[in-house]
């Protein structure tokens, strides 16, 4: 089963993807994570990506489609979760072609609905584990022991450079301009479903589960 989690920055895509990985053995493909990794590399591409991400703009379709294409080779286990991809119509078309070439289908596109006000609070309280990628929040999902990852025990907890109010504003504009047209695109294809992303994490997870169980 292959699905897309679609929603604005801070909607809870990564959080729900990790629950699906844990519960269903699916594979999370986060272009944001891949790009942050590329950013660390001391290359011209890494430097360019870092600048674009810091401004809250979208990286070129060519780069992200290339990153996804690399991951689509071989066996995809319990299914793929596309998290933060596609973000433009060109990326959506490219994904359709890549899956078709593999003989694979896109089973569901889940829109995570959250209003802008909540997104500011989500993003400004977000921190992640640098070792295992677990996602936390100062208020809604703190670690059990301050400064220590619940999952792997690492002390390497960090905040993203682009999780500030100014960058979020730009990222939201990019979302409305370039990504939200995908809602119509997938609605027409008949595989769009929405969940209420404002509910608590386990409640959202139950809604996602219901969508997948009904496929």
Catalytic residue positions, numbered: 13, 87, 126, 160, 171
Among 4, 13, 172, 182, binds ligand ADP (CB under 6 A): 13
Closest alpha carbon to 198 in 8, 5, 12, 19: 12
Among 1, 52, 90, 99, binds ligand ADP (CB under 6 A): 52
Closest alpha carbon to 182 in 64, 60, 87, 99: 87
* Residue range at the interface with Zn ion (CB under 5 A); choices 82-90, 92-100, 106-114, 132-140: 132-140
159 forms part of the interface with ligand ADP (CB under 6 A): no
CA distance 44 to 99: 30
Distance between first and last Cα of the chain? 9
* Residue range at the interface with ligand ADP (CB under 6 A); choices 69-77, 97-105, 129-137, 183-191: 129-137
211 binds, among Zn ion, ligand ADP, none (CB under 5 to 8 A by kind): none
Compare residues 58 and 149 and give the one whose CB is closer to ligand ADP.
Answer: 58
> In the bound complex, what is the minimum distance in angstroms from residue 159's beta carbon to ligand ADP?
10
Q: Is residue 69 within 8 Å of 37, Cβ to Cβ?
A: no
45 forms part of the interface with Zn ion (CB under 5 A): no
143 binds, among ligand ADP, Zn ion, none (CB under 5 to 8 A by kind): none
62 forms part of the interface with ligand ADP (CB under 6 A): no
Name the phi and psi angles at 7, rounded to 5. Answer: 175, 165
172 binds, among ligand ADP, Zn ion, none (CB under 5 to 8 A by kind): none
> In the bound complex, what is the minimum distance in angstroms from residue 149's beta carbon to Zn ion?
3
Closest alpha carbon to 68 in 43, 111, 104: 104
Name residues whose C-beta falls within 8 Å of residue 31's C-beta, 6 or more positions apart in sequence: 59, 64, 67, 68, 83, 84, 85, 87
- The sheet with strand 80-83 has its strands ordered as 27-30, 80-83, 3-6, 108-113, 192-196
Name residues whose C-beta falls within 8 Å of residue 63's C-beta, 6 or more positions apart in sequence: 35, 45, 49
32 binds, among Zn ion, ligand ADP, none (CB under 5 to 8 A by kind): ligand ADP
CA distance 131 to 13: 19
39 forms part of the interface with ligand ADP (CB under 6 A): no
Binding to Zn ion, residues 137-166 (CB under 5 A): 149, 151-152, 154
Among 2, 3, 6, 12, binds ligand ADP (CB under 6 A): 12
């Amino acid at each position: 089963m292959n699905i897309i989690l679609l929603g604005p920055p801070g909607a809870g895509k990564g959080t729900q993807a990790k629950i699906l990985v844990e519960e269903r053995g699916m594979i999370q493909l986060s272009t944001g994570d891949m790009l942050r990794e590329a950013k660390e590399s001391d290359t011209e591409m890494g430097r360019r990506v870092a600048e674009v991400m810091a401004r809250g703009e979208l990286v070129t379709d060519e780069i992200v489609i290339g990153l996804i294409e690399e991951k689509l080779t071989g066996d995809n286990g319990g299914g793929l979760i596309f998290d933060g991809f596609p973000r433009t119509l060109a990326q959506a078309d490219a994904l359709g072609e890549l899956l078709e070439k593999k003989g694979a289908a896109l089973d569901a596109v889940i829109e995570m609905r959250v209003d802008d006000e909540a997104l500011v609070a989500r993003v400004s309280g977000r921190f992640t584990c640098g070792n295992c990628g677990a996602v936390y929040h100062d208020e809604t999902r703190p670690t059990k022991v301050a400064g220590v990852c619940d999952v792997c025990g690492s002390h390497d907890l960090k905040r993203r450079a682009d999780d500030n109010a100014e960058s979020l504003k730009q990222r939201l504009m990019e979302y409305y301009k370039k990504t939200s047209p995908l809602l119509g695109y997938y609605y027409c294809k008949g595989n769009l479903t929405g969940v209420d992303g404002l509910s608590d994490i386990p409640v959202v997870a139950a809604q996602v589960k219901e969508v997948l169980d009904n496929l």
